[in-house]
Chains A and B, each alone.
Chain A
Amino acid sequence: MSGEQVASEPFEPVVIGFTCNWCSYRAADLAGTARIKYAPNVRLIRLMCSGRLDPTFILDALARGADGVLISGCHPGECHYVDQNLNTLRRFRMLERILPALGIEPQRVQLVWASAAEGTQLAHEIDRMVEEVRGLGPLDWPARMAAAGGRTGPGVSPVGWPAGSRGEPEPGAIKGATEPPGVHA
């Protein structure tokens, strides 16, 4: 990169792409072997089926700094696990309904069907989405949270209630409970 770009680095969006092992991940692979270029801004994560996609993954990606999330799976009727991709479709449509209230543009979370043979199409969709997200600018969720002075890092309880924390008391656990408490300025 040339020196003149150092002053203000151009915005390079980060898009997390959840792909299905049987279709879109292979489509991306095919694009690679066929030397079809697509934007390096997308980071592909392979799932065994798009039906594994929990809305938590999408929200977590955005909360950790992704500028957009691409979801892709086999075309309806072609899912290798009967019709789990319809579950994906329903979850995605539902998630879309809450994004406006959070101020997240619909272009930042997109669903694309792609069969294993559709490398060119998937590469094209990735490029299109990356450009759309680039146009929207950074989402920057972690920086926003840090600016509000919330605690981050070690010692912060995880979001959600801890798993397996409601059963029988653990022997000796009161020691942990009475450790010197942490106070955070």
Chain B
Amino acid sequence: MSGEARPTFAMYGAGSCGGCDIAVLNVHEKILEIGAAFEVVLWPVVMDAKYRDLEARPDSSIDLTLFSGGIRTDENADLARLLRRKTKLLVAFGSCAGEGCIPGLANLTPPAEILDTVYETVSTENPDHLRPGTQPNPGGPGQLAGFAAVLRTLDQVVDVDYFVPGCPPESPRIAEVLDLALAALRGGEDLPPRGAVLGAGESTVCDECARTRNVKQIAGFRRIQEIDHLDPTLCLLEQGIPCNGAATASGCGALCPTAGAQCVGCYGPVAGAIDGGARLMSAFASVAQARTAEEMDRILDGLVDPIGQFYRFGLAKSLLRASRSAWAAAGGEWGRR
């Protein structure tokens, strides 16, 4: 790429675990290609960069930004807006940015309760009773970033060009997405319409799963750790394990059921589903062997955490998005943004 300017690249993590950054670094020898093909302008996990340098850049001067993480704090929201302004192709990268993921499950809990747990429980030493946004940080001039009433997905804050699902996205899918973006930026390839999901298939994890399915009727749910012997070739759902494969988008190659664990749904809802949890509930309801309310209740008693089962990754992007008690906090001190 001598002579001509390379496309510019940024990656940023908001409310996330950092796993998406690791997943991008974990694309094996491809990472060398990325390093050679792109000029990295911001990637806090990899190199030092200052927000003021980012602010000083001309608008739309970053060709590709992979944004991981949901929007939970003032800082998350500020960076989302700033990166949107500076970026041509803004990608909601990974489950958190796209649908809230595990951090989004905190939308079931009122923010005050979350902060009490984090800042005031017995294992926390916090003599000055610091809280996000409310008190100066004694170690420096800044403030702890403010904490919003609910976590929002990236597209609930700014326009998003593409979504790449997965917790985290799988290496081959990441490589495909980067190749596509690179080809498009070099003018050799067209991109799908704005708002599309990249790096996932149109079908379900079940479609990619090699386990045998016979008649799908289940008499009860059990937790996988409660079972002594699992048939290694039979569909997990048929064995009573609540596997989310039927309503989860393909893309991972059915990693979890292949390894002997149920799919928990990290690739997000299958294409076309409006509410992933509702789709899963329908899927489970149609296989439950129950003809009365009592029979159904007995089956459901085996599902220890229903909302976690159906909305583990997608709560923040579901139709209701948060619990009533979390929304209730939005009007007051929490609702600044």
Task: Give chain A's interface residues, CB within 8 Å of chain B.
Answer: 54-56, 59-60, 62-63, 76, 83, 86-87, 89-91, 93-95, 97-98, 101-104, 139, 141, 144-145, 147-151, 155-174, 176-185
Give which listed residue, B159, B277, B337, contacts A181 with CB less than 8 A. B159
**B114 CB to nearest chain A CB (Å):** 15
CB of B180 within 8 Å of the partner chain: yes
Q: Which residue of B lies closest to A99 (CB)?
A: B307
Number of A-B contacts (CB under 8 A): 220
* B271, A174: Cβ atoms closer than 8 Å: no
A167 to B272 Cα, complex, angstroms: 13
The 5 closest A-B pairs by CB, nearest first: A103-B324, A144-B327, A148-B330, A163-B272, A165-B196
* B152, A98: Cβ atoms closer than 8 Å: no
A94 to B327 Cα, complex, angstroms: 23
* A164, B272: Cβ atoms closer than 8 Å: yes
Q: Which residues of A contact B85 (CB under 8 A)?
A: 181, 183
Give which listed residue, B273, B290, B297, contacts A160 with CB less than 8 A. B273
**B97 CB to nearest chain A CB (Å):** 12
* B327, A173: Cβ atoms closer than 8 Å: no
* A171, B202: Cβ atoms closer than 8 Å: no
A interface, by DSSP: helix, strand, loop or mixed?
loop
Query: Can you list 18 A-B contacts with CB-CB less than 8 angstroms, sorted by A residue number?
Result: A56-B278, A56-B279, A59-B319, A83-B291, A98-B306, A102-B108, A141-B327, A147-B335, A149-B330, A158-B274, A159-B275, A160-B274, A161-B268, A162-B196, A165-B195, A166-B271, A176-B194, A182-B84
* A161, B249: Cβ atoms closer than 8 Å: yes
B interface, by DSSP: helix, strand, loop or mixed?
mixed
Give which listed residue, A97, A147, A150, A157, contacts B300 with CB less than 8 A. A97
* B196, A56: Cβ atoms closer than 8 Å: no
* B155, A157: Cβ atoms closer than 8 Å: yes
* A95, B296: Cβ atoms closer than 8 Å: no
A160 to B100 Cα, complex, angstroms: 12
* B158, A166: Cβ atoms closer than 8 Å: no
Q: Which residues of B contact A159 (CB under 8 A)?
A: 274-275, 317-319
A54 to B291 Cα, complex, angstroms: 18
* A170, B193: Cβ atoms closer than 8 Å: yes
Q: Which residues of A contact B137 (CB under 8 A)?
A: none
* A174, B288: Cβ atoms closer than 8 Å: no
* B317, A55: Cβ atoms closer than 8 Å: no
Q: Which residues of B contact A168 (CB under 8 A)?
A: 192
* A76, B282: Cβ atoms closer than 8 Å: no
* B269, A161: Cβ atoms closer than 8 Å: yes
Q: Which residue of A lies closest to B192 (CB)?
A: A169
* A178, B89: Cβ atoms closer than 8 Å: yes
* A147, B331: Cβ atoms closer than 8 Å: yes
A66 to B320 Cα, complex, angstroms: 12
Q: Which residues of A contact B150 (CB under 8 A)?
A: 148, 150
Q: Which residues of B contact A163 (CB under 8 A)?
A: 271-272
Give which listed residue, B152, B189, B292, B334, contacts A169 with CB less than 8 A. B189
* A182, B159: Cβ atoms closer than 8 Å: yes
* B330, A147: Cβ atoms closer than 8 Å: yes
Q: Which residues of B contact A177 (CB under 8 A)?
A: 88-89, 161-162, 184, 191, 193-194
Q: Which residue of A lies closest to B325 (CB)?
A: A103
Give which listed residue, A76, A90, A97, A179, contacts B194 with CB less than 8 A. A179
Give which listed residue, A62, A87, A147, A176, contacts B286 with CB less than 8 A. A87
Q: Which residue of B lies closest to A139 (CB)?
A: B324
Q: Which residue of A lies closest to B332 (CB)?
A: A147
CB of B167 within 8 Å of the partner chain: no
A181 to B154 Cα, complex, angstroms: 13
Q: Which residue of B lies closest to A161 (CB)?
A: B197
* A94, B277: Cβ atoms closer than 8 Å: no
* A144, B328: Cβ atoms closer than 8 Å: yes
* A166, B330: Cβ atoms closer than 8 Å: no
A33 to B321 Cα, complex, angstroms: 41
A123 to B41 Cα, complex, angstroms: 66
A149 to B72 Cα, complex, angstroms: 12
Q: Which residues of B contact A62 (CB under 8 A)?
A: 319-320
